[in-house]
Amino acid sequence: MRLICQCLSLFPTAIATFVHNVRRIVYNDLSNIAPEHYIKNITHRLAEIKAVESPADRSFLIQMLESTYRFTLGSVAGAVGATAVYPIDLVKTRMQNQRTGSFIGEVAYRNSWDCCKKVIRHEGFLGLYRGLVPQLMGVAPEKAIKLTVNDFMRDKLTDKQGNIPRWGEVLAGACAGGSQVIFTNPLEIVKIRLQVAGEIAGGAKVRALSVVRELGLFGLYKGARACLLRDVPFSAIYFPMYAHTKAAFADDEGYNHPLTLLAAGAIAGIPAASLVTPADVIKTRLQVVARTGQTTYSGVMDAARKIMAEEGPRAFWKGTVARVFRSSPQFGVTLVTYELLQRMLYVDFGGSRPAGSDVAKAKVNLARVNPDHIGGYQAALPMLNGIETKFGLSLPRFGSPVLKRQAS
């Protein structure tokens, strides 16, 4: 035990010797092992590469490499976010596909919670992940291109002082939403048909490959207009709100903890997901296979008119709660994963990087006003003065240089 205590007592000195090549502890050593400093460096970079010396050195190849780098990280982040909330997405899809006007008295699910319980009861727990594989195959490029295009457009619309106008943020988000449809629509139509396949008791098992073969290339883009109508406004709302919410949650040094990133992503997803629900309902109705007796739709306007006439305006908001509970945490997890990956595997291509990623190191002025001042030495002088004659002791008297100067 004594040996352990001695080793522990030498640990700070060992750190100081290793870092500063001195056998004493300096202020920066205490700062580096402080709990607050440790918490902020949980996401310490695993790699840091500098591709260019200055932004002026950016060539077309460097910019392409930067887009590839962001695309790769966005793919990983998108897969993580989609897997985390996929059961909620399945419940949302089935609630939106439930039609009250086609079959009299046909109500399979009373609400989202009832839908979740019935899926587990009749299809097992893995039924909540029906269609996950094609989702992951498509969500990687979908989320990656959305994040990459948003970052690219923000770079182009940011001035030399690092400021981007509000309209620039909205435009960057809208471009990101529009660019993803090329991946989103085929993914969505296959996923939706797999998700609703379990509603038919005793029905034939539906596989993703058979859906692709049945639809063909052009069939995979059925409902693409509704998909654009949903994704462009969503991203135009989401990304600007996320950027401002994240800035509001940053600490005094401008740093964002991973939990604040997650909260900012989730909060920004609430208005974005809820406000575009009508377009999502129309897209779902266009992309599913109508069963016998159900209403069919020929396009966005036809679907909107028929839904309004048969089910009323409330039908456009079906699955809003499930959509918010899916999209809000999904984008929160996706964005926090994306930004943490950029922190840990940082490559400096000369472009912008997520704000709030660096820990600002405060410079502490250690210069002493009085060379005789060490901690509370000056305050303790009146108590220590004359202690050699107190308590019956008779010790040699050592005068303080400070007191001697004050006396003279």
- Quick: pLDDT tens for 375-405: 555 555 555 555 555 555 555 554 545 445 5
Average pLDDT over residues 216-231: 83
pLDDT at 142: 79
By CB atoms closer than 10 A (0-12, 13-18, 19+), residue 168 is middle
The answer for residues whose C-beta is within 8 angstroms of residue 293's C-beta and 6 or more apart is 102, 103
pLDDT of residue 102 exceeding 50, the answer is no
Phi, psi of 108 (to 5 degrees): -75, -35
More confident residue, 114 or 199: 114
Tell me the pLDDT tens digit for each residue of 242-253: 999 999 999 888
| CA nearest to 228, candidates 175, 266, 270, 264 | 175
More confident residue, 197 or 160: 160
Angstrom CA distances, 200 to 95, 101, 297, 377, stand at 15, 18, 21, 83
Q: Which of 73-87, 228-242, 318-332 has the largest mean confidence?
A: 228-242
Q: Classify domain 49-99+107-348 by CATH number.
A: 1.50.40.10
The answer for residues whose C-beta is within 8 angstroms of residue 58's C-beta and 6 or more apart is 52, 349, 350, 351
Tell me the pLDDT tens digit for each residue of 332-345: 999 999 999 888 88
Q: Which of 88-102, 126-140, 351-365 has the largest mean confidence?
A: 126-140
Q: What is the residue-averaged pLDDT of the chain?
A: 74
Please provide the distance, in angstroms rounded to a whole number, between the alpha carbons at the two ends of the chain.
53
Average pLDDT over residues 142-149: 86
Share of the chain above pLDDT 70, in %: 67
Average pLDDT over residues 167-186: 88
pLDDT of residue 238 exceeding 90, the answer is yes
- Residues 110, 94: Cα–Cα separation, whole Å: 11
pLDDT of residue 240 exceeding 90, the answer is yes
Average pLDDT over residues 171-179: 92
pLDDT at 381: 54
pLDDT at 245: 94
pLDDT of residue 236 exceeding 90, the answer is yes
| CA nearest to 185, candidates 149, 207, 215, 213 | 215
pLDDT of residue 19 exceeding 50, the answer is no
pLDDT at 366: 41
pLDDT at 7: 52
